[in-house]
């Protein structure tokens, strides 16, 4: 297996307008690693740099401590799966999957063995003689994946591979791609702007914004303990309350316009610091209690979404959203709400 290390990689297409600002990143051998961020944040540029399709302005790329920064794409043993699939419509499935092997001048025996193996991995062995236009979108995506697997890459690069599929096929292919990566013990980097895709599939996630690495961690870490407000909002819905830290009997609490909160982890914040609290909608519950971590709010309305109801409340000047699982109807009016200390996330207040 192969680990990937980036050292101070940077890229600009125009002088003074960096697409990627210098940063370091390590992807462990065998990881399914996601690059997540909005359009234009630099994630696809980074993937193309890894593939050798673009040259970085500065920095190094290492595969297992070998500097491959100046290697041609075919010398890196990194295979890429494109968003558009990039399949030849006039060729059969077999010939599409064999394309990289033929370019590498593999023998006929090797081509037959590797193409057959790759098609079996993606469950398309019975489609080898079909032409690409006769396949469904999901099948075409599997052909593109098989073509990448056929060359036995050390690193698999996937650039928003599911964006052209409908919701049902995306769900199916998420499971399939993770299965294949883990069964083949591949190191894979996967670009997406879809947070659900990243949270459900990734071993670890790197969040990018405007060419800057914002945070790296497991799905649970970046969702539950985001580094800043951008990461918090990009990874999921959130309620935000501005407040000031204060110490009471040696315990750090946060005073807001709706009440006082005691977080389980206040990080490095100190008495007097201005902060913003993140309360995820699914972490707020209705209660009859009073005291810290509880507050009054006016329930305005709500919507039924099958497995939960989404309630819209007003607490002072703060509009709040609450997700309540298996909830019955509630009348509009005043309620008390609560959030457990471990679900109170303290963020630096941004100007």
In this predicted structure, the answer to whether residue 351 has a pLDDT above a threshold of 80 is no
Task: Please state, as a whole number, how many other Cβ atoms lie within 10 Å of the Cβ of residue 183.
Answer: 9
pTM of structure: 0.88
- Reduced 3-state DSSP string for the chain: CCCEEEEEEEEEEECCEEEEEEEEEEECCCCEEEEECCCCCCHHHHHHHHHCCCCCCEEEEEECCEECCCCCHHHCCEEEECCCCCCCCCCEHHHHHHHHHHHCCCCHHHHHHHHHHHHHHCCCHHHCCCEHHHCCHHHHHHHHHHHHHHCCCCEEEEECCCCCCCHHHHHHHHHHHHHHHHHCCCEEEEEECCHHHHHHHCCEEEEEECCEEEEEECHHHHHHCCCCHHHHHHHCCCEEEEEEEEEECCEEEEEECCCEECCCCCCCCCCCCEEEEEECHHHEEEECCCCCCEEEEEEEEEEECCCEEEEEEEECCEEEEEEEECCCCCCCEEEEEEECHHHCEEEECCC
Please compute, for residue 229, the number of CA atoms within 13 A of its CA located in the half-sphere on the CB side. Answer: 11
Give yes or no for a contact between 188 and 307, defined as CB atoms under 8 angstroms apart. no
The CATH class that applies to domain 4-233 reads alpha beta
Any idea which of 30-34, 106-110, 190-194 has the lowest mean pLDDT?
Answer: 106-110
Decide if domain 237-348 falls under CATH 2.40.50.140.
yes
Q: Which of 95, 147, 159 is nearest to 122 (CA)?
A: 147
Mean pLDDT of the chain: 91
d(CA 230, CA 336): 28
Q: Where do the CATH 2.40.50.140 domains begin and end in the chain?
A: 237-348
Q: Which of 64, 67, 72 is nearest to 8 (CA)?
A: 67
The token pair at 267 is 């990080």
**Residue 248 β-bridge partners:** 251
In this predicted structure, the answer to whether residue 327 has a pLDDT above a threshold of 80 is no
Query: 115-130 pLDDT, tens per residue?
Result: 998 998 888 889 999 9
Give yes or no for a contact between 10 and 56, defined as CB atoms under 8 angstroms apart. yes
pLDDT at 74: 82
d(CA 317, CA 339): 19
Output 36 or 83, whichever has higher pLDDT: 36
In this predicted structure, the answer to whether residue 286 has a pLDDT above a threshold of 90 is yes
pLDDT at 200: 93
d(CA 53, CA 45): 9
pLDDT at 343: 96
With pLDDT > 70 as the criterion, what percentage of the chain qualifies? 100
> To which residue do tokens 């947070």 refer?
195
Task: Please state, as a whole number, how many other Cβ atoms lie within 10 Å of the Cβ of residue 137.
Answer: 15
d(CA 200, CA 171): 10
Q: Please classify residue 59 by burial: count the beta carbons closer than 10 Å to its beta carbon, then call 0-12 exposed, 13-18 middle and 19+ buried.
A: middle
The alpha carbon dihedral of 154, 10, 69, 163 has a sign of: positive
pLDDT at 166: 80
């Amino acid at each position: 297996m192969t680990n990937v290390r980036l050292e101070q990689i940077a890229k600009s297409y125009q002088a003074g307008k960096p697409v990627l600002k210098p940063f370091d990143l390590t992807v462990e051998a065998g990881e399914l690693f996601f690059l997540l961020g909005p359009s234009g944040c630099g994630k696809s540029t980074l993937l193309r740099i890894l593939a050798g399709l673009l040259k970085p302005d500065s920095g190094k790329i290492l595969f297992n401590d070998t500097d491959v920064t100046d290697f041609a794409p075919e010398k890196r043993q990194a295979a890429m799966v494109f968003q558009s699939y990039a399949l030849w419509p006039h060729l059969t499935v077999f010939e599409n999957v064999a394309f990289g092997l033929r370019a590498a001048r593999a023998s006929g025996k090797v081509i037959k063995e590797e193409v057959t193996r790759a098609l079996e991995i993606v469950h398309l062995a019975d489609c080898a003689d079909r032409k690409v236009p006769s396949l469904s979108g999901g099948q075409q995506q599997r052909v593109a994946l098989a073509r990448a697997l056929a060359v036995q890459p050390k690193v698999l690069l996937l650039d928003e591979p599911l964006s052209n599929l409908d919701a049902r096929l995306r769900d199916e292919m998420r499971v399939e791609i993770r299965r294949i990566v883990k069964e083949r013990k591949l190191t894979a980097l996967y670009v997406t702007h879809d947070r659900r895709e990243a949270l459900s599939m990734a071993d670890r996630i790197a969040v990018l914004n405007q060419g800057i690495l914002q945070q790296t961690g497991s799905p649970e870490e970046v969702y539950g303990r985001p580094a800043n407000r951008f990461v918090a909002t990009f990874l999921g819905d959130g309620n935000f309350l501005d407040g000031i830290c204060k110490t009471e009997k040696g315990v750090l609490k946060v005073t807001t316009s709706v009440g006082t909160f005691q977080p389980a982890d206040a990080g490095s914040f100190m008495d007097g610091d201005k902060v913003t609290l993140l309360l995820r909608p699914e972490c707020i519950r209705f209660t009859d209690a009073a005291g810290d971590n509880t507050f009054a709010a006016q329930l305005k309305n709500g919507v039924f979404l099958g497995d939960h109801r989404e309630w819209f409340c007003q607490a002072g000047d703060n509009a709040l959203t609450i997700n309540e699982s298996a909830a019955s109807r509630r009348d509009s009016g005043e309620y008390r709400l609560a959030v457990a200390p471990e679900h109170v996330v303290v963020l630096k207040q941004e100007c």
